[in-house]
Copies of this chain bind each other. A is one copy, B any other.
Amino acid sequence: MLKKQLIMEKALELFSEQGFEATSVQQITERCGISKGAFYLSFKTKDELVISMVDHYLQKFIIDIDQVVRGAYNKETILIEFYKSIFQAFKDHSASARVFFNEKVFLTKKELFHKITAYEAEMSKSIIYMLEQLYKDKLQETKYDVMYCIKGFMKSYAEIFIFSDMPLDLEQLAKSLAEKTNIIAYHTTIPFITEELVPFIAKPCEQDVSKDALLQLFEQNIVNEEDSIKRESLELLKQEIENPTYSTAIIKGLIENLRIDPAYHWIAYVSAKYFNI
């Protein structure tokens, strides 16, 4: 398990230096100080590595945003917190940001394209949720346009973090963008992205958490888990999917048992979505 981590880290370095296609398995194993064979003990193929990496690095990012957005609600600060957490992530993980937000080699691999666009859709949902909480029904017509503006701000300003290692004032940036967001939200009158347009421009993505996918996720993790409480929680939740019996409180508790472990953040996140918690 540690070996996988090492390979992913070193691969990320190389991908951000040279790109995915241009980086060979040889180079990755050399930087790791392991043999080529050892690589294939951890990952079946080079593609499997990059799929794992996308999951690993983007899950963190999405979960961070979602936690900020659904966390304790303070209208005055939520936008600032939102932008701060995003750019803090860009600052801390500029290598993965460079690879996953800019490298669209992935566009050529259909599976990865769907994965990445699914994560992006997840982020869009979080932003929309935030806008609904912040501006209530003041923002009916222009909701999606404001979301696109926020995404635009992110993309545009992220470049500064990705391509330079200057010390930057995150607080000031967050304030500046929060102000812009408020201005846009309150003053925009001409929408472009209408409610009818949304389904057409939405990227192909797994709309909801599929039952089978979730079951498979549980099965994968049950076999590797050694901690008895976590394994039992996984078992019970798996049974609950196939045969609902327990109350919401119990299910939430089981999910929280998993959420403690950073490795289970994602499974907790999608489980909560599946059970509507």
Please name all residues of chain B whose beta carbon is closer than 8 Å to the beta carbon of A19 when the two chains form the complex: 21, 104-105, 107-108
Please name all residues of chain B whose beta carbon is closer than 8 Å to the beta carbon of A172 when the two chains form the complex: 190, 192
State which of B155, B183, B191 has its C-beta within 8 Å of the C-beta of A183. Answer: B183
With contacts A163-B203, A180-B188 known, is A18 near B108, CB below 8 A? yes
Is there an interface contact between A153 and B157, defined as CB atoms closer than 8 Å? no
Q: Cα distance A157–B184 when bound, in Å?
A: 16
Q: Cα distance A21–B22 when bound, in Å?
A: 7
Please name all residues of chain B whose beta carbon is closer than 8 Å to the beta carbon of A189 when the two chains form the complex: 179
**Count of A residues near B, CB < 8 Å?**
47
Please name all residues of chain B whose beta carbon is closer than 8 Å to the beta carbon of A105 when the two chains form the complex: 19, 21-22, 103, 105
Q: In whole Å, how far is A136's beta carbon from the nearest beta carbon of chain B? A: 20
Please name all residues of chain B whose beta carbon is closer than 8 Å to the beta carbon of A183 when the two chains form the complex: 183-184, 187-188
A114 close to chain B: CB less than 8 A:
no
Please name all residues of chain B whose beta carbon is closer than 8 Å to the beta carbon of A160 when the two chains form the complex: 201
Q: Cα distance A208–B260 when bound, in Å?
A: 55
With contacts A21-B19, A184-B180 known, is A164 near B201, CB below 8 A? yes
Is there an interface contact between B163 and A156, defined as CB atoms closer than 8 Å? no
A166 close to chain B: CB less than 8 A:
yes
Is there an interface contact between A149 and B180, defined as CB atoms closer than 8 Å? yes
List A6-33 residues whose CB lies under 8 Å from chain B: 17-22
Is there an interface contact between A176 and B192, defined as CB atoms closer than 8 Å? yes
Q: Cα distance A151–B183 when bound, in Å?
A: 18
Please name all residues of chain B whose beta carbon is closer than 8 Å to the beta carbon of A135 when the two chains form the complex: none
Q: In whole Å, how far is A53's beta carbon from the nearest beta carbon of chain B? A: 17
A246 close to chain B: CB less than 8 A:
no
A148 close to chain B: CB less than 8 A:
yes
Q: Cα distance A145–B19 when bound, in Å?
A: 30
Q: A102-B107, A149-B180 are in contact. List 5 more A-B contacts (CB 8 A).
A: A21-B21, A149-B152, A152-B156, A152-B157, A183-B184
10 tightest A-B CB contacts, nearest first: A152-B152, A21-B21, A152-B156, A176-B192, A102-B104, A183-B187, A176-B190, A155-B155, A148-B156, A19-B108
